[in-house]
Amino acid sequence: MNTTKIALFAGVAIVVAGGLVVALKMNPSSTGDTAGTIAAPVKNVEIAAASPFTNLATIPASVDPSSIRFEKLKAVEVASKMKTTTDEQRCKDLKAKDPDGSGCSSTAVVEKVKAIEATYSYDGVELGAGEGGAPGRTTFSVYFRPEDVVVDGPVAKLKRDQAAGMFRVTSYRAMVDQKVVDKQHSQFCAGSYIDGSFVRTDPKCQDQVQFTTQSVASPYLTVQVDLVNPVATK
């Protein structure tokens, strides 16, 4: 092949390559766009079983347990399986604004089961000075399997005292581990407050704070509701 033909073929190749580049840029379904679509983040979906039946509830420890009283009994449906959808890209975007990353997951009920709901109320916590308003009553509910609550007819038809007599209520305040400052093994810089701000005597001083774990009374009361005559299991 002579020099002229080689030059001619090289020129044609350059023109064709240039045309392909222009076409790819102008074509919305170009390879670059396709790669972007394939790389798009996929939402993670998790299906998990829930715990629909529980005879425990928590209320503030400042509540007087003697104020707890039975309110009503009714048949309901409660969640037994939940679906959680997490958008990973949204989590990353929100993390910069919210360290907890809340708002990037959504939860929906997938399955429900029948249950018997027992509702109780208690005297609400007294409000502080200047907050105004009466404490009122606050409610909580516990849930039982329908086959464990044996009654003649619909539970909603029971008289209040009859329904209340089916259950026994107890409460206790558990001990929980709490992380606290270990004052004995910590060192704090000397200083004083000036115009409402703490100013160290030695600007180069750094607090040496140590922590320890100790058991303290929980800020909540655990209320346990049991059937007086539970159904015997085989």
156 is a domain residue: yes
- Asked if residue 153 is part of any domain, the answer here is yes
pLDDT tens digits, one per residue of 15-71: 444 444 444 344 444 444 444 444 455 578 888 888 899 999 999 999 999 999 999
| Residue 83 located in a structural domain | yes
Residue 17 domain-assigned (yes or no): no
| Residue 198 · residue 33 · CB < 8 Å | no
Report if residue 136 sits inside a domain.
yes
pTM of the model: 0.63
Residues of the chain with pLDDT under 70: 1-42, 96-103, 125-135, 232-234
Full residue range of the structural domain in which residue 129 is found: 42-174+218-234
Number of domains in the chain: 1
Q: 22, 107, 124, 118: which is closest to 70 by C-alpha?
A: 118
- Tell whether 102 is covered by a domain: yes
| Residue 52 is assigned to a structural domain of this protein | yes
CB atoms within 10 A of CB 206: 9
Give me the sign of the Cα torsion angle 21, 22, 24, 25. Answer: positive
Instruction: Identify whether 128 is part of a domain.
Output: yes
